[in-house]
Structure 1
Amino acid sequence: MRIALLLAIFACTSFAQAPKDTAKVPPAMPVKAAAARTAPAVDELGAVGTLRADEAVTIRPEIAGRIAEIRFNEGQSIARGAVLVKLDQAELAAVLASSAAQAQLDRQRLERSEDLFKKSFISQQALDEARSGYARSAAKQKEDEARLAKTEMRAAFPGVAGLRQVSEGQYVAAGTDIARLEKIDQLKLDFRIPEAFIGKLRAGQPVKVLVDAYADRVFPGSVYAIEPGVDDQTRTILLRARVANPELRLRPGMFARVQAQLGVREKAIWIPEAAIVPKGRDSYVFRVAEGKADLVRVQTGARKVGEVEIVKGLGAGDLVVTEGTQKIGPGSAVTLINQEGAKR
């Protein structure tokens, strides 16, 4: 009886221990991985802005009159000082001729008065009156010369003439819009940046300018002026850059995207973007070492197409899982496969 009982106990004990002795180790999970590489990382600030003419003015007459000549064509390149529009000068020319004749007469009277005064034939008062008369007539002549000069409207700077709003023979009042003159061989670019970046931008900072009209081209420019104050509503600061435009492709008023380089880290660490495992607000990667995948928290930095910079958490050459992250966990055994699927 005792022997039968001992055999039963031994059988039960052996049956209970059998699963432990025969338990299988989980197989290594095949995954794809890539090594972290070093390459320069460029910090860039993006903004949007508006292109403006380097110089721009609306041509307007200072006095009323009839347009006698229009000496420019719409869209024509204009040289500095070129006459653009002439008003009829007949009346003002006659007025100037009259004042010039009066000034000459008064000058002659003054010369005779000075001669007579030396000979004591006239008083000091008579001489003073002659001098005053000549001064008034000379001033009137200069005034009429100035009014006559205003009948000619000249280009204050070289530029391109816009579309005119008037015709020859038309009577125009003072201040009537005639046409625009804009200097566009070099443009200004106004854009705003958040106040947090004020310390990273300076006069002379290079910028890249992109416009929708020429999507395949990048236009270089540089910041030359920074607004002294910050906008208290948007907490941004206004910057102005110059953009060369020798081919006249860019036009004032165009919408532009601006990229400003803030700095370069020459030995930044980059990994494929697919390796990032987001968990809440944090980012993790599976780092492969000795056949196992360790979950490592990382701090990311700059991004570009398909890649992300790792500021903290990895070193150059570390292997990170790029495919298969959903099938593994911390400490999982892994086997690396190449792009063709062969194990290695």
Structure 2
Amino acid sequence: MASRPLYIVIAVAGIAAASAGAWWSQHRPARAIEGIPPGASPAAASVGGASAAGRPPVVEVARVEVMRLSDDAQAVGSLRSRQSVMLRPEVSGRVTRINFRDGERVRRGQLLVQLDDQLPQAQVQQSRAELSIARANHKRNQDLAGQGFISQRQVDESAANLQVAEAKLALAEATAARLKIVAPFDGITGIRNVSVGDYLKDGADIVNLEDLDALFVDFRLPERFQGKLKPGQSAAVQIDALPGRRWNAVVQAIDPLVDANGRSIGIRGCIDNRQLQLRPGMFARVTAVFGERERALVVPEEAVVPQGNRQFVYRLADGPDQDSKAAQRVEIKIGLRRPGRVEITEGLRAGDLVVTAGQQRIQRDGMPVRVMDVGRAATAQPAGSAPVAPADPAVAGASAPRSAVTTEANGDSAAPRRPAAPAREAVAGPNPCSVATAGAPTAGPRAAR
């Protein structure tokens, strides 16, 4: 019982010691945390993580680049023939002649399939004979009426009979013409489904005819792009079946109706296909180009520090000595975004150095910092060159923007690389999509006989 008060005193002393230790850990001087000797001057301690020796914090930087950017949007679509038709007979009949070969180019008005027309041709001959008699009778009645031998009524009846004979002949010729299947436009035939001797009913499939000199690419874009779309814009088309090639398409039509299900807009572009390298039905990847900026300023996206609705970067200026720089916070306006890159429209100039890593160590404007591998990062780019290739290792590893000019890492440097060149277009006649092509026109394929 006598030891119980002793236990209470020991417990109270332990609680007091623990409370004092907690208070001291929360209120100890900043010098002790940073490891700065008590006798050191305040200027020796750099704010925000400076070493015990007072050296400024290390940051990674990148240089503001100048490159050509495209304001574009990507979509997928399908290729379609400019004109496509499945030839079918209007009347029933037996096939007596086929005047084309599968996959052959034909001309408009060329006879492709002839059905048995013996009976209609006989009716045409009969109608021509009746027309000849009616014309002679009417001429004779006109002469007799002039001499006063017959009345005017007989002349009128002969004129009506002449008109009836002309109508019968026109009807017989139209009936015979329906047994001739001709090409409605210039194109290439498909694989026929009939042979000589087949009896075809009206509406039976004979062969498809495709106009491949120009192909339509149909694709859809979200409704937010409606203000940027207009006929005459260009679009780059890539085909998965033909990798490494690009074709230029011209926007010809924009659907005025927005699809209520997907909130998208239908767009149709035209591709010059006189080389016949593309086929209808192919899957296409389309990049619609709304505009291009020849000298756009871009920085890595990690250099941008958002604060509310405002965007900032830390730009480096000359520091107090050769080994350090002064970090200045600059408000910017951003434009286009690309994977890994952001366009800067206001606040920076070409060649400026911006901080890409270590912004959290900069606690005040104008604070001195050290640049990682400053000898390479600060290498000057020749004036007037575009794009400006970064020399800093952190910049060289950044992903390239999806633009008209991209960069491809090659060792420690980045060399400009342009996309695959558009496919060379044929020059047989005028361009069906109104796209200027170089070279003298050459004779087109000869029509099938």
Q: TM-score, normalised by structure 2?
A: 0.64
Letter in 2 for 1:98: Q
| Residue from 151, 155, 158 that aligns with 2:179 | 151
The answer for the alignment partner of 2:87 in structure 1 is 59
Deviates more, 1:57-66 or 1:273-282: 273-282
Write the mapping of 1:151-300 to structure 2, written as runs, cut at 5 A: 151-276=179-304, 285-289=313-317, 290=319, 291=325, 293=327, 298-300=332-334
Shift of 1:200: 2.6
CA deviations on 1:274-323 (whole Å, 9 max, x unpaired) are 5456789986644434335566665543244653322345443332234x
- Offset of 1:142 from its aligned partner? 1.1
Structure 2 gap segments, 5+ residues each: 1-30, 320-324, 380-449
Cα pair distance change 1:330/1:77, threshold 3 Å? farther
Give 1:336's aligned residue. 371
- Tell me the SS of whatever aligns to 2:79: strand
1: CA distance, partners of 2:302 / 2:287: 26
Q: In 2, Cα distance between the equivalents of 1:134 and 1:327?
A: 102
Tell whether 2:325 aligns with 1:325: no
1:294-309, aligned counterparts within 5 Å? 298-304=332-338, 306-309=340-343
Which residue does 2:18 correspond to in 1? none
SS in 1 for 2:195: coil
Q: Aligned pair in 2 of structure 1 residues 231, 39: CA closer, same or farther (>3 Å)?
A: same
Relative to structure 1, the CA distance from residue 282 to residue 342 in structure 2 (aligned partners, 3 Å threshold; closer, same or farther) is closer
Give TM-score scaled by structure 1 length.
Answer: 0.81
Distance in 2 separating the partners of 1:35 and 1:299: 17
Q: Which shows bigger deviation, 89-98 or 16-25?
A: 16-25
Q: What SS class does the counterpart of residue 175 from structure 1 fall into?
A: coil
Does the CA contact (< 8 Å) of 1:295 and 1:330 recur in 2? no
Q: How many pairs are equivalent?
A: 328
1:230-278 Cα shifts (integer Å, max 9, x gaps): 4455443333222101211111222222223222334432123454567
Give the partner amino acid of 1:20: P
Q: Distance in 2 between matches of 1:34 and 1:174?
A: 73
State the Cα deviation string for residues 30-56 of structure 1 (Å, max 9, x = none).
333222133333212323332221111
The equivalent of 2:148 in structure 1 is 120
Alignment deviations for residues 154-195 of structure 1 (CA, whole Å, 9 cap, x no partner): 112111101212222111122222111110111122233334
Match of 1:20 in 2: 38
Structure 2 residue identity aligned to 1:61: P
Contact 2:314 2:359 in 1 (8 A): no
Displacement of 1:326 in angstroms is 8.0
- In the alignment, the residues of structure 1 paired with residue 362 and residue 287 of structure 2 have an alpha-carbon distance, to the nearest angstrom, of 40
Task: Specify the alignment match of 2:99 in structure 1.
Answer: 71
Root-mean-square deviation (CA, aligned residues, Å) is 3.3
- Paired with 2:293 and 2:131, the residues of 1 have a C-alpha distance of 76
C-alpha contact 1:78 1:160 (8 A) present in aligned 2:
yes
Gaps in structure 1 of 5+ consecutive residues: 1-15
Q: 1:335 to 1:131 in 2, by over 3 A?
A: same
Give the counterpart of 1:311 among 340, 345, 352: 345
Shift of the 162–279 alpha-carbon distance from structure 1 to 2, 3 Å rule, reads farther
Local SS of the residue matching 2:161: helix
**Larger strand share, 1 or 2:** 1
* Rounded Cα–Cα distance in structure 1 between residues aligned with 2:307 and 2:192: 63
Contact 1:40 1:264 survives alignment (8 Å): yes
Secondary structure of 1:113's match?
helix
Counterpart secondary structure, 1:72: coil
Paired-residue identity, %: 39
Question: Which letter maps to 1:146?
Answer: A
SS of corresponding position for 1:200: coil
